[in-house]
Amino acid sequence: MDWERLLRRELDPLVPYAPGLRASEVRERIGGGVVHKLSSNENPRGPVPLAVAAMREVLPRLNIYPDGAAKALKRSLASHLSTDERFIAVGNGSNELLRIIAQAVLSPGDECVFAWPSFVVYPMVTQLMGATAVKVPLTDGEVHDLDAMASAVTPRTKLLFVCNPNNPTGTIVRRAEFERFLNAIPEHVLVVVDEAYHEYVDDPDYPDTLSLFDGVRPLVILRTFSKIYSLAGLRVGYGVAPEPLIAAVNKVREPFNVNTVGQVAAYYSLQDVAEVRDRAEENARERSRLCAAFDRLGIEWFPSQANFVYIHTERPRELFEGLLKHGVIVRDFGTAPALRVGIGAPHDTDATIAAFEAEWSRLGNGR
């Protein structure tokens, strides 16, 4: 069988997404003990209590297909976001919506612009469609270079991703510069703002993208229930987009793409505003504790508005492996001189600080 001839050539450069190590793998490697999984930006708390109760109630009815249009969830989201439900799409995580949008917009020969390093799915969905990925380096402060991104737009550009806060660096673009940038992008380019970590942001200068959405300009805002709402295991994301794109998404997406349990959990998660606020505040406290420890140790870190902190080290693999010995799982990026350290509960922060104190010194300050 000539598989090279059968399979699409666009798949050749693609590398499957590599999830971080699971806690069970590390526990087996280090011979047991407590493991702190801080590599996948998961919330340390479980789903909100209202969502847990609603999920239990719906379990006996899973013989019935989900609501294919997710009407109740869309109505709830429209109220929560103060927008019209006709502008809302839901997906099997915001990750699915990224792929569907690329599938609906990009053709071979088109270009897609995004910052780099940023979310690994952007180049994947671009290459999958046979389009050209245009990677624009971050600034020295690991922030999107919006001027350079605007300059990278050509007549062939059809899609542009802005990850805000950026994954893996946690940095943000600010309101005034983003609005200038958006106004400089020609109307033949669809701008997709990926706000997966939106709820963790406490910087008052963070852009209010929803206020810039008018249903006409080619702008999409994507968010997820996987992070602060702790529904990563159910995969529910959503987007706010103009109606023509919503129609295209509905043509491309799988029927019943968001399962019943996920829809119910997401619906009730939106009701517990106080719990979400408490989670954001705890994350900010633990993030500050971790950064203070990095300062004390002389570790270079970058200001984060997410539930992780990006640090610089010339010995990333050795430091990654050293932290594992203490049961602390962070995220490495191959040869990149950096690690991404997730924010967990207070006991996770205690363990992370202790592990860094031991390993940073052992490695000669990580250099």
Q: Which CATH class is domain 49-269?
A: alpha beta
Boundaries of CATH 3.90.1150.10 in the chain?
15-46+274-362
CA 215 → CA 4, 251, 285, 330, distances in Å?
43, 19, 37, 39
- Give the per-residue pLDDT at 366: 54
Q: Name the CA dihedral angle for 202, 205, 207, 208, rounded to a multiple of 10 degrees.
A: 70
| Strand (E) or helix (H) holding 220 | strand 219-224
Token digits for 41?
A: 């930006």
CATH superfamily of the domain spanning 15-46+274-362? Aspartate Aminotransferase, domain 1 (3.90.1150.10)
How crowded is the C-beta side of 78, counted as CA atoms within 13 Å? Answer: 14
Q: Over its length of 367 residues, how does the chain's per-residue pLDDT go in tens digits?
A: 888 888 888 888 877 877 777 777 777 677 777 889 999 999 999 999 999 999 999 999 999 999 999 999 999 999 999 999 999 999 999 999 999 999 999 999 999 999 999 999 999 999 999 999 999 999 999 999 999 999 999 999 999 999 999 999 999 999 999 999 999 999 999 999 999 999 999 999 999 999 999 999 999 999 999 999 999 999 999 999 999 999 999 999 999 999 999 999 999 999 999 999 999 999 999 999 999 999 999 999 999 999 999 999 999 999 999 999 999 999 999 889 999 999 999 999 999 999 999 999 888 765 5
266: CB partners within 8 A, 6+ apart: 51, 73, 90, 225, 229, 231, 234, 236, 238
Say how far apart CA 200 and CA 89 lie, in whole Å: 22
- Give the per-residue pLDDT at 288: 98
Q: Residue 102's Cα: distance from chain center in Å?
A: 16
- Give the per-residue pLDDT at 204: 97
Boundaries of CATH 3.40.640.10 in the chain?
49-269
Say how far apart CA 165 and CA 198 lie, in whole Å: 7
Q: What is the pTM of this model?
A: 0.94
- Give the per-residue pLDDT at 5: 82
Residue found under tokens 């029927």: 255
Say how far apart CA 285 and CA 319 lie, in whole Å: 25
- Give the per-residue pLDDT at 26: 72
